[in-house]
Structure formats: structure tokens, C-alpha cells
Amino acid sequence: MKKPWNLINTPIYSLATYNNNNVVNMNICTYVNAISMKPKKYAIAVYNDTQTLANIEQSEIAVLQLLSNEQYFLIKKLGQTSGINYNKQQYLTKKNLLELWQQHFD
């Protein structure tokens, strides 16, 4: 039997969050729902005891990004690797896959 997320072609999102040192962590978001159009708001499920949740609790900055078909290879590294034990920013930088969003965060 196929798993529910393999039954339909659904968008795959990544949530970029930042710690106090502006080090980015990204994870794969399976459950993202639009909850308001004006202002545009989304509800995103985040697991307990993760680097993503720790970053969300210490910073107001989070960037939800829709992955393209060409970025499928990132799903395993971003979704099945814990940011607590693995530096995803370093991995993405080495692969030349990281760009600053709006150039800076203050």
C-alpha cells in the first residue's frame, strides 16, 4: 500500500529558520495549509524537540519556500537529517544552493 503522501502530487515546502547567530536550518514541511489570504498566513506543523522549533522560539524570522521539481534531491537531507546534529547551512553552502533572502536579517 502506498503512503498517503505518495498518492497525489502535492507541493513540497521547506521552512528556513534562523538561530540567534543567523545560522539557517531548513526542514521539509509535509503539512502546510493556507489559513488567511489577507494578510497571507500559513499554518505549518513542526515537530517537538527539533532545531526548527528551537529556532522559531528564539527568532521571528522564518521563510517558507516551495521546492521545485529539480530540488527533489534535497528532500532526504533536509527532511530526514536533524539540524541538531547536522549543519544544513554548511551542506547547502558547499553545494552552492544557499542564497540570502532580502539580503540581511536584523
Q: What does the alpha-carbon distance between residue 56 and residue 64 come to, in Å, rounded to a whole number?
A: 12
Residue 104 sits at the vertex; the CA angle it makes with 81 and 51, to the nearest 5 degrees, is 25
Given a cut of 80, whether residue 103 has pLDDT beyond it is no
Overall fold of domain 9-94: Pnp Oxidase; Chain A (2.30.110)
pLDDT at 41 (0 to 100)? 92
DSSP 33-81: EEEETTTTEEEE---SSSHHHHHHHH-S-EEEEEPPGGGTTHHHHHHSS
pLDDT digit string (tens) for 1-51?
666 656 567 788 999 999 988 889 999 997 899 999 999 899 999 999 999
- The residues spanned by each domain of the chain are 9-94
C-alpha cell at 21: 547567530
